[in-house]
Amino acid sequence: MYVARPSKYSAEFRSDAIALWRASAGRRTFKDVAADLNVNPETLRTWVRDADGSATGSGPELDGTQGELARLRAENARLAKAEKEWQLEREILRRAAAYFAREMK
């Protein structure tokens, strides 16, 4: 008998990911959005496809304030990740500048 394993991602994370992809309005690919969220692009594509099929009521609906909240949470997660990357880059550049300043003396 096959027993399904528990989902690795929460329903809230899934809805936030879907909202982030929808908020991109075609400017970004599944691959780009999935990379920001550290998920497989096909996983994200499946979530969006399932959500589109959920108009019959079988899944979470992202309309009104719930959709806006999910979109904002996903955007917040994306910005937090970008900030961490920028901080790391800044630290690397700071150390490189200090190294080369010592070399010049």
Could you count the other beta carbons within 10 Å of the beta carbon of residue 14? 22
pLDDT for position 91: 96
Mean pLDDT of the chain: 83
The string over 32-51, giving b where at least 16 C-beta atoms fall within 10 Å of a residue's C-beta and e elsewhere, is ebbebbebeeebbbebbeeb
Report residue 6 as tokens: 């528990």
- Cα–Cα dist 65/15, whole Å: 13
pLDDT for position 27: 84
Percent of the chain with pLDDT over 70: 85
Task: Name the more confident of 74 and 54.
Answer: 74
Task: Name the more confident of 7 and 10.
Answer: 10
Which range (25-29, 39-43, 47-51, 83-87) has the least confidence?
Answer: 25-29
- Cα–Cα dist 12/77, whole Å: 12
The string over 80-102, giving b where at least 16 C-beta atoms fall within 10 Å of a residue's C-beta and e elsewhere, is eeeeeeeeeeeeeeeeeeeeeee
Task: Name the more confident of 4 and 61.
Answer: 4
Stretch 47-56: mean pLDDT, rounded? 76
Percent composition of the chain: helix, strand, coil (DSSP 3-state, to 5): 75, 0, 25
pLDDT band at 56 (very low <50, low <70, confident <90, very high): very low
